[in-house]
A = this chain, B = another copy of it.
Amino acid sequence: MNLNPDFIADHNAAGQTQHQRKLSPWTDSVEQAEAVIQKLVDFQIAIPSWALGTGGTRFGRFPGGGEPRSLEEKIADVGLLHALNRASGAISLHIPWDIPTDPQATKQLAASYGLAFDAVNSNTFQDQPGEPGDSQLSYKFGSLQHVDPAVRRQAIDHNIEVIRHGVSLGSKALTVWLSDGSCFPGQLNFRKAFERTLSSLQDIYAALPDDWKVFVEYKAFEPNFYSMTVGDWGSSYLYANKLGPKAYTLVDLGHHLPNANIEQIVAILLNEGKLGGFHFNDSKYGDDDLTAGSIKPYQLFLIFNELIDGMDARQMNHAQDLGWMIDASHNVKDPLEDLLQSVEAIQLAYAQALLVDRAALDEARDANDVVRAQEILQDAFRTDVRPLVAEARLRAGGALNPLALFRQLTVRQQLIGERGAKTVATGL
């Protein structure tokens, strides 16, 4: 379905008075307001193609209806989100699920929604029995780490194929998340697994176009439950550093051991020039893949606080120089509603972090004034920045309240009407 722009205009007109009342204290008296709004307008968060359908666990999956059945429908779903919030202007594809048969047409379709193609993702954590020629060798015992060079070769070739698809669509980055690891003590020689994985990554790196990046994602556990071969930021850094200047670490918020200080990891990687991008989500226990900001919103704010500090110190462009993507699993919510919630939570955290009085913070730190430093961050976090985010949407052509409009327009019911109640998004 396509969203009739009139609907958004009507929605905004209806909410304009109330919005202005909340916004005016900002525009009237807060000097940074305009700058923050502009940065919010510029800030886009990519939507992964696999997050458009209902997710599940090993215990089951409870699908909803109207899920996208094809790449075209996935693009349409992201287009819908972007029409509503004007902050989801990119889609991140997952191969082999999203292979474009006619890249030019696919690019045009995406462009018609105002969407770019973000990082492309390879998949070597599953066998693909349905795809002839694909995965004739099994990844049961790993892919890039595998003891069998033929399996490694297959996995390397798959990644190079993914790059090729990405090139055809205008992507500029490859994300490599490996489930490689081991489930039991003894299964793996850690040392050799590291060397084999590095060697495989080097082969992939060699196939990377000059203007591309490769993101080496790490994860502490799952689906391997004893060791992961790219298990923490230290490992990812080692790989990225050995690969070369186009290789970076990608941080997924759910991929850490309990209590990890993720904001510090972000700061260190940025300082080393090796932070590549982000997978946003939230979690309480493991890689729970919950809506961004739904469990630990202060942590999300603190991460943005480090991102801004580090990017500004390196004169990086907030909107362009890191990869921003959501990676969540929507088990009990409408995926599109969940994504709207995630994007908004990320924008709020970004806006609050932009409000931090950095000069005062520096001063407090230089004086070891811990109380004051804490107050400065809390002041920003306790501020209600929803009017700024709404204004940014408004200026960019989106809806004041995307979620409310989504419901009011009965989008899901229409999608069910178009696609059926029993659809299953490809790749899930």
Could you list which residues of chain A lie within 8 angstroms of chain B, going by C-beta atoms? 55-60, 62, 125-127, 138-141, 147, 179, 182-191, 194-195, 220-223, 225-227, 231-235, 237-238, 256-261, 263-265, 267-268, 270-272, 283-286, 288, 290-291, 293-298, 302, 305-306, 309-310, 313, 329, 331-334, 337-338, 341, 345, 348, 361-362, 364-366, 368, 370-371, 373-378, 381-384, 386, 403
Contact = CB atoms under 8 A, between A and B. Distances in A.
A238 B337 CA distance: 37
Contact of A341 (B183, B195, B374): B374
B291 A374 contact: yes
A371 B126 contact: no
A362 to B, nearest CB: 8
Given A234-B237, A366-B147, A295 B371 contact: no
Q: How many copies does the complex hold?
A: 4
A265 B229 CA distance: 11
Contact of A268 (B60, B190, B283, B371): B190
A245 to B, nearest CB: 17
B333 A191 contact: no
B377 A186 contact: yes
Q: Identify the 5 closest CB pairs spanning chains A and B, nearest first.
A: A234-B234, A190-B267, A225-B288, A62-B140, A186-B373
B333 A370 contact: yes
Contact of A232 (B188, B232, B368): B232
Given A194-B268, A298-B295, A332-B141, A260 B261 contact: no
Given A185-B374, A194-B271, A368-B141, A222 B290 contact: no
